[in-house]
């Protein structure tokens, strides 16, 4: 117990209180235990009552029995004594013979202490005035004594005096006998001679000790004791144990105290009361009754409650301890289960949290994807990504910048959250590098460099990048270990793989060198890109969907639009897979090239030398074109500015200063009410569209001197497109004319 610290106790108590509030099962257990205790208390109460009744009955029986015995003893003595009266009367003239008679009576009355005749003073003339022949029982036999002497004057007290006063048979005492020096109770009667005159008092003394011992011979309870009282409540005989005397006196006092309530027993034969004895340290139950007939004595028995109900109390304590033990065990079990419950709850919460986070991650991944479907004038795209788990390691992306379609499809090794994270990185890199680079091989290179640095997880990505110049249909692409896309059309069932150089996937080696490939797309061509989740989709027999099946299916899709193609493929795959679990992310991207070439209603061309002094020629040129088409001055100035900036850029960057070259400016008015301006030169390859955008929000001190030209071109025109073709830089600017 000394090892139990206050803090531990407090925390245990606190735990209990808390457990009450939170645990239903604990409350139930407490309620059950309380009910049990209640039941046990009720049982105790009833059992106690039953035992009380039993005690009463027992005490009654005991008192009855002992009363019979006591009465028997006393009555027998009385009767035997009385039967000798005649003999005594006849022998009155012979006083010496009286000793013999006394001794005789005493001999056959073992319960008498003594027997004697106290003659009236001077009855016998020749004897002393006080003459009392007496027989006394001692340890060494029956003694014959002449009890009276100068010292012991029986006329003064004792039974002689009492009977003389009473003049009748009577029980006398208890009183202290002077001669014997002890308490006596006596039966005496006046003795008459044959003439009818009183001559003496004839009586016998009861052996109180033996009477008391007889009473207390067998106890109903170990410490019980019994005693006899006179009618007026004086002790006659009781237990001989001197240590009990005080208690006996106390009980007698209670019996005689009329203010103490006494109740009748159920049978109505004895009266009873209980009181707390301080010396005994216990409740005492007292049962007493009057003995019927002469002598009119009372008999009482005293029981200690501890002894009476001792077994019941012991049982109660044992039950209490047992229920505490059971409670303790149940508490322990509940605590264990609560702990398990708690752990389970935590685990479930944890799982829910993770599931929740994956759901959010899935949303993020979904939002990273471009819209499923894009339909523009020159191109139609449809993509779909179905992850095997909440989040996937596949990716597709596309966007249009400066008249070029940038697209990609990729597959990270593995699936699930780790792959999804890496794919997020690759996606960001693709977007970042494509903002300022039109060459897919260089984009791939940059992505590889970035992902090889700090790739601790040894994950790699298969990737296919493509850049399609929409005005010209010129496709540039680069493959890093990814499945070759399938080319459909432009007509009928032409189906073939896009020829790819399968470089190493991205993120494997930092020194991989990627090369660009080129292809010219005819109008109506469909590019179908996919990841191995399609070709390796397994059904229940673990057979794969396969490339052949894919080819066969796509062969029927040449006339379909990208959305229809993806729907058809998805349907086929689902049918094939059936009820088997999706084993890998399923990703597809279909691109249909549908360039619209509009007729030009007017074409004007101006050729300049690569000299800034030629620039003013643009003024007149633009004014004349504006007049022909019918443009207002403001618009015409805008267009002129855009063209001038484009031309100046070419002069500055495409042609090193010493070389002479020419710049062609071609203005076309198209049937769709747009103005197309082409700036063509045969200088060094120079792509103005990949320059960093100028930050127009900077304050004056931080503004850079350069970059304004291309900025103005972008802002003034609706679209800008650069393509290097046939050794020439072709910059195409388009402005939509509002009519």
Footprint of another protein (CB under 8 A) = 612-613, 615-616, 618-619, 633-634, 637-638, 640-641, 644-645, 648, 694-701, 703, 705, 708-709, 711-712, 715-716
CB of 713 to another protein, least distance (A): 9
Taking the C-alpha atoms of residue 648 and residue 641, their distance in angstroms, rounded to an integer, is 10
- Residue 570: exposure state from Cβ atoms within 10 A (0-12, 13-18, ≥19): middle
CB of 402 to another protein, least distance (A): 17
- Cβ distance to another protein smaller for residue 471 or 709: 709
Token code pair at residue 481: 């270990």
CB of 648 to another protein, least distance (A): 5
- Cβ distance to another protein smaller for residue 105 or 710: 710
Cβ atoms within 10 Å, residue 642 = 23
- Please report which helix (H) or strand (E) contains residue 735, including its range: strand 728-736
CB of 640 to another protein, least distance (A): 7
- Cβ distance to another protein smaller for residue 243 or 697: 697
Instruction: Please list the residues that pair with 331 across neighbouring strands.
Output: none
For 607, list phi and psi in degrees, rounded to 5: -115, 130
CB of 612 to another protein, least distance (A): 5
Contact partners, residue 493, CB within 8 Å, separation at least 6: 555, 556, 558
Interior angle at CA 730, CA 727 and CA 731, nearest 5: 155
CB of 711 to another protein, least distance (A): 6
| b (16+ CB within 10 A) / e for 265-288 | beeebbbbbbeebeebebebbbbb
- Cβ distance to another protein smaller for residue 6 or 705: 705
DSSP classification of residue 382: E
- Cβ distance to another protein smaller for residue 258 or 634: 634
| Contact predicate 639/716, CB 8 Å | yes
CB of 627 to another protein, least distance (A): 17
CB of 705 to another protein, least distance (A): 5
- Cβ distance to another protein smaller for residue 432 or 615: 615
| Contact predicate 550/535, CB 8 Å | yes
Radius of gyration (C-alpha) of the chain in whole angstroms: 66
CB of 668 to another protein, least distance (A): 23
- Cβ distance to another protein smaller for residue 338 or 606: 606
CB of 623 to another protein, least distance (A): 11
CA 367 to chain CA centroid, nearest Å: 38
CB of 655 to another protein, least distance (A): 15
Cβ atoms within 10 Å, residue 704 = 10
| Contact predicate 729/680, CB 8 Å | yes
CB of 389 to another protein, least distance (A): 47
- Cβ distance to another protein smaller for residue 344 or 708: 708
- Cβ distance to another protein smaller for residue 499 or 616: 616
- Cβ distance to another protein smaller for residue 78 or 645: 645
CB of 643 to another protein, least distance (A): 10
CB of 642 to another protein, least distance (A): 10
- Cβ distance to another protein smaller for residue 53 or 715: 715
- Cβ distance to another protein smaller for residue 195 or 705: 705
CB of 644 to another protein, least distance (A): 5
For 90, list phi and psi in degrees, rounded to 5: -65, -30
Return the beta strands (E) in 441-557 as ranges.
Answer: 461-469, 474-480, 486-488, 495-497, 517-520, 526-530
- Cβ distance to another protein smaller for residue 656 or 706: 706
| Contact predicate 629/643, CB 8 Å | no
Token code pair at residue 571: 């349907």
| Contact predicate 284/303, CB 8 Å | yes
Q: Using alpha carbons, select from 460, 444, 447, 361 the residue that is nearest to residue 411.
A: 460
Looking up tokens 């308490």 gives 183
CB of 607 to another protein, least distance (A): 17
Side by side, the strands of the sheet bearing 225-229 are 235-237, 225-229, 298-304, 282-290, 271-277, 263-264
- Cβ distance to another protein smaller for residue 132 or 644: 644
Taking the C-alpha atoms of residue 733 and residue 402, their distance in angstroms, rounded to an integer, is 9
- Cβ distance to another protein smaller for residue 116 or 683: 683
- Please report which helix (H) or strand (E) contains residue 589, including its range: strand 586-593
Interior angle at CA 532, CA 514 and CA 577, nearest 5: 175
End-to-end CA distance of the chain: give it in Å, rounded.
99
DSSP states of 104-143: HHHHT-TTEEEEEEEEPTT-STTS-SS--EEEEEETTEEE
DSSP classification of residue 654: I
- Cβ distance to another protein smaller for residue 541 or 632: 632
DSSP states of 199-250: EEEEEEEE-HHHHHHHHTSS-SSTT-EEEEE-TTS-EEE----GGGHHHHHH
């Amino acid at each position: 117990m000394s090892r139990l610290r206050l803090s531990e106790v407090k925390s245990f108590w606190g735990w209990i209180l808390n457990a009450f509030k939170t645990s239903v099962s604990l409350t139930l257990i407490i309620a059950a235990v309380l009910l049990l205790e209640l039941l046990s208390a009720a049982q105790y109460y009833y059992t106690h009552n039953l035992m009380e009744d039993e005690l009463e009955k027992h005490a009654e029986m005991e008192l009855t029995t002992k009363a019979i015995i006591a009465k028997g003893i006393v009555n027998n003595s009385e009767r035997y004594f009385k039967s000798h009266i005649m003999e005594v009367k006849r022998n009155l003239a012979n006083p010496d013979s009286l000793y013999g008679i006394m001794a005789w009576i005493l001999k056959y009355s073992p319960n008498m202490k003594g027997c004697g005749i106290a003659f009236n003073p001077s009855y016998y003339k020749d004897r002393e005035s006080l003459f009392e022949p007496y027989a006394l029982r001692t340890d060494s036999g029956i003694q014959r004594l002449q009890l009276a002497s100068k010292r012991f004057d029986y006329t003064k007290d004792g039974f002689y005096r009492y009977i003389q006063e009473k003049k009748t048979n009577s029980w006398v005492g208890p009183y202290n006998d002077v001669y014997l020096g002890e308490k006596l109770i006596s039966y005496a009667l006046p003795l008459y001679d044959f003439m009818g005159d009183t001559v003496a008092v004839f009586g016998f003394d009861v052996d109180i000790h033996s009477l008391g011992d007889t009473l207390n011979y067998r106890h109903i309870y170990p410490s019980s004791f019994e005693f006899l009282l006179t009618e007026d409540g004086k002790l006659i005989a009781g237990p001989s144990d001197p240590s009990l005397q005080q208690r006996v006196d106390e009980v007698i006092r209670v019996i005689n105290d009329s203010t103490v309530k006494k109740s009748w027993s159920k049978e109505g034969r004895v009266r009873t009361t209980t009181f707390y004895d301080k010396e005994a340290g216990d409740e005492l139950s007292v049962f007493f009754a009057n003995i019927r007939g002469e002598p009119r004595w009372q008999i009482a028995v005293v029981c200690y409650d501890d002894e009476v109900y001792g077994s019941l109390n012991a049982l109660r304590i044992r039950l209490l301890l047992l229920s505490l033990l059971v409670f303790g065990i149940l508490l322990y079990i509940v605590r264990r289960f609560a702990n398990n419950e708690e752990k389970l709850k935590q685990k479930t919460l944890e799982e829910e949290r993770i599931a929740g986070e994956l759901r959010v991650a899935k949303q993020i991944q979904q939002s990273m994807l471009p819209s499923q479907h894009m339909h523009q004038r020159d191109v139609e795209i449809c993509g779909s990504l179905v992850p095997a788990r909440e989040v996937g390691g596949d990716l597709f992306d596309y966007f249009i910048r400066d008249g070029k379609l940038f697209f990609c499809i990729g597959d990270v090794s593995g699936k699930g959250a780790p792959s999804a994270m890496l794919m997020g990185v690759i996606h960001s890199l693709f977007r970042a590098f494509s903002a300022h680079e039109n060459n897919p091989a260089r984009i791939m290179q940059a992505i590889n460099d970035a992902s090889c640095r700090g790739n601790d997880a040894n994950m790699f990505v298969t990737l296919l990048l493509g850049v399609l110049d929409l005005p010209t249909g010129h496709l540039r692409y680069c493959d890093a270990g990814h499945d070759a896309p399938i080319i459909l059309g432009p007509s009928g069932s032409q189906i073939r793989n896009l020829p790819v150089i399968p470089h190493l996937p991205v993120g494997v080696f930092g020194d991989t060198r990627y090369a660009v490939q080129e292809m010219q797309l005819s109008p109506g061509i469909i590019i179908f890109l996919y990841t191995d989740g399609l070709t390796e989709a397994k059904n229940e027999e673990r057979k794969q969907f396969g490339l052949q099946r894919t080819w066969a299916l796509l062969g029927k899709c040449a006339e379909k639009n990208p959305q229809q193609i993806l729907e058809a493929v998805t349907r086929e795959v689902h049918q094939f897979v059936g009820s088997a679990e999706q084993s890998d992310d399923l990703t597809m991207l279909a691109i249909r090239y549908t360039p619209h070439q509009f007729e030009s209603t007017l074409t004007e061309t101006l050729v300049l030398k690569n000299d800034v002094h030629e620039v003013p020629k643009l003024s007149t040129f633009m004014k004349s074109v504006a007049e022909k088409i019918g443009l207002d001055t403001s618009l015409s100035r805008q267009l002129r500015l855009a063209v001038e900036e484009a031309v100046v850029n070419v002069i500055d960057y495409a042609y090193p200063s010493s070389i002479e070259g020419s710049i062609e400016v071609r203005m076309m008015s198209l049937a769709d009410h747009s103005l197309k301006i082409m700036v063509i030169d045969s200088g060094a390859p120079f792509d103005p569209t990949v320059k960093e955008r100028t930050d127009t929000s900077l304050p004056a001190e931080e503004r850079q001197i350069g970059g304004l030209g291309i900025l103005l071109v972008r802002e003034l025109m609706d679209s800008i497109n650069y393509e290097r073709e046939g050794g020439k830089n072709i910059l195409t600017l388009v402005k939509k004319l509002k009519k």
